[in-house]
Structure 1
Amino acid sequence: MTALVDQAAPADDETALSRKIRSQSRSGRDRLVTAAGVVVLLVIWELAARQVDPILAAPPSAVLKALISMIGDGTMLTAVWESAQPFLTGYVLAIVVGVPLGLLIGRFRVVEAAIGWLVIAGYAMPMIALTPVFMLWFGLGFAVKAAMVMTMTVFAIAINTWNGVQHVPRTLIEVGTVFCASQSRILSQIVIPSVIPSIMTGLRIGIGKAVVGIVIAEFFTAIGGVGGVIVDAGHSFQPDRMFAAVVVLMAAAVALTGLIGLIERRLAPWNRSIAGGSR
């Protein structure tokens, strides 16, 4: 019996090693494909932008020069800092409100019947229509930006969490009930661990919503921030500076989405191995 175990152990180690090698190979291939896609996009953009009026578009080379200049004189760094504070505040508030709200709606039918429709209606509502109201309520500074980010984001997080709770295997909850676990214990030890991937999906979607929210708020208030840079550049017909600000927003959104993916792999390492998808 011991001999069989000794023979099985090296085989398991070899399987794990081969899986690690394949994973690293796929990761390197994916990075190469991503880099190639970025290069192709930049070449197409460069060639196309040189064929139109410079007032209407700017090639990547001009955008890069403008970005370096704006970083050098502090314009971009100041704008990013002014946008980051209400962005992070609103996003964290959306998580604090949206995750518990989604858990309650998904777990308790009476809560779903009471406010589920309101969450769906809030998600479908074009939030730009509420911007003038928010400006009356919160003014033109930090508060209105954070409120817009929070409102744009919270419903996406709540709906994804809600959907995740509804897809928790019923057998797991029945096992907890059989062992006389309380509702709070079932929620904390069965439901929440099972819902982590759905919560993280909501957070990733929320990043895009939050970026839209902060830009809309800054477009209307036109007081600082990256959105203010875009508005000023557009009014002064400087497409290179305008696209530089847009690129910064895109890069920040991609970086934050990647960070959430890393957090998900830490919190739910099993999800990647059991989920479907291309290889």
Structure 2
Amino acid sequence: MSITETTARAKTGKEQASVAAEKAWSMPDWAITTISLLILVGVWQAAAPFIDPLFGSYPSQIFSSFLVMMESGTLARAFWQSIQPFFAGYLLAAAIGVPAGLLLGRYRVAEAALGIYVMAGYATPLIALVPLLMVWFGLGFAVKMVIIFLLAFFPICINTWVGVKAVPRTLVEVGTAFCAPQSRIMRQIVLPATLPYIMAGLRLAIGKAVIAMIIAEFLTAISGLGGIIINAANSFRTAEMFVPIICVMILAVVLDRLVAWLERKVAPWQSEIAGDHA
């Protein structure tokens, strides 16, 4: 056996041993996330003696406030008041945004006629329109739902639009060559190829919708989780103020994971292409 062959086999053996060691010591993502959260909470709690309660709080005090608010029912009522317009606005944005994006991306006339309005709406500071929306829809459920809808609609629509434009033309041409009707091309070629973009838009819209929910509760009738934040901040009850903030963060993360799980179900090939790992 030559020296070159011996060296090559030795390198191969080392690479295989390295891969085996990496697999043996690999840790699932959820465990890494849990450890990261525990470290963050531990460091935050350790800094408690140095935190002025007027300007900040720490995990044990926030948890105590959480228990008090749950026992009194304040947090549950506020969460229910917030979640209703949130889901109504978000689901409406998804129901309208996805078809609108498909039409804009697939049909040149629709893109030329309506695309400019979508981009203008996305670039417009919609928060500046809140006073006008309050005049139109009042201070209750309707105006909150509309604000959430407007902030969530554009990420969904634009991502879908971009996804349709990214579909390889050859795929559409094959469908056309076999005399497939436009509805079938849209359903069996364009939509499956666009699903990853649609799911990305839905995930981005979750963050926008959560922000819109809190802003709507700040600027309209002060209620829900946003109302707790405002009232607690005005009274310098900092620990109580952190409770709804953390609840909103948890809500956004859970919904993001839910959409990611849904993507793996409806577009399993995307995980294989992207090389996702557990």
Superposition TM-score tier, normalisation by shorter sequence: 0.7 to 0.9
How many residue pairs were aligned? 257
Amino acid across the alignment from 1:264 = E
Q: Which residue of 2 aligns with 1:207?
A: 206
Q: Which residue of 2 aligns with 1:32?
A: 31
| 5+ residue gaps, structure 2 | 1-21
TM value normalised by structure 2: 0.88
* RMSD across aligned positions (CA): 1.9
Q: Which residue of 1 aligns with 2:274?
A: 275
- Residue 90 in structure 1 maps to residue 124 in structure 2: no
Q: Which residue of 1 aligns with 2:121?
A: 122
What do residues 88-118 of structure 1 show as CA deviations (whole Å, max 9, x unaligned)? 0000110111001100111111211112122
Task: Work out the CA distance in 2 between the residues paired with 1:221 and 1:116.
Answer: 31
- Residue 198 in structure 1 maps to residue 197 in structure 2: yes
User: Which is higher, the Rg of structure 1 or of structure 2?
Assistant: 2
Q: Which residue of 1 aligns with 2:53?
A: 54
Q: Which residue of 2 aligns with 1:144?
A: 143
Amino acid across the alignment from 2:106 = R
Amino acid across the alignment from 2:49 = R
What do residues 170-215 of structure 1 show as CA deviations (whole Å, max 9, x unaligned)? 1110100000111111111110111111111100000000001110
Query: What's the offset of the Cα at 1:125?
Result: 1.9
Contact 1:141 1:223 in 2 (8 A): no
Q: Which residue of 1 aligns with 2:12?
A: none
- Residue 77 in structure 1 maps to residue 76 in structure 2: yes
Task: Give aligned-pair identity as a percent.
Answer: 49
Task: Work out the CA distance in 2 between the residues paired with 1:267 and 1:108.
Answer: 25
Cα pair distance change 1:46/1:145, threshold 3 Å: same
Q: Which residue of 2 aligns with 1:246?
A: 245
Task: Work out the CA distance in 2 between the residues paired with 1:116 and 1:108.
Answer: 11
Task: Work out the CA distance in 2 between the residues paired with 1:43 and 1:125.
Answer: 41
| 5+ residue gaps, structure 1 | 1-21
Task: Work out the CA distance in 2 between the residues paired with 1:71 and 1:277.
Answer: 38
TM value normalised by structure 1: 0.87
Task: Work out the CA distance in 2 between the residues paired with 1:43 and 1:110.
Answer: 57
Q: Which residue of 2 aligns with 1:12?
A: none
Query: What's the offset of the Cα at 1:161?
Result: 0.3
Q: Which residue of 1 aligns with 2:173?
A: 174
Secondary structure of 2:28's counterpart equals helix
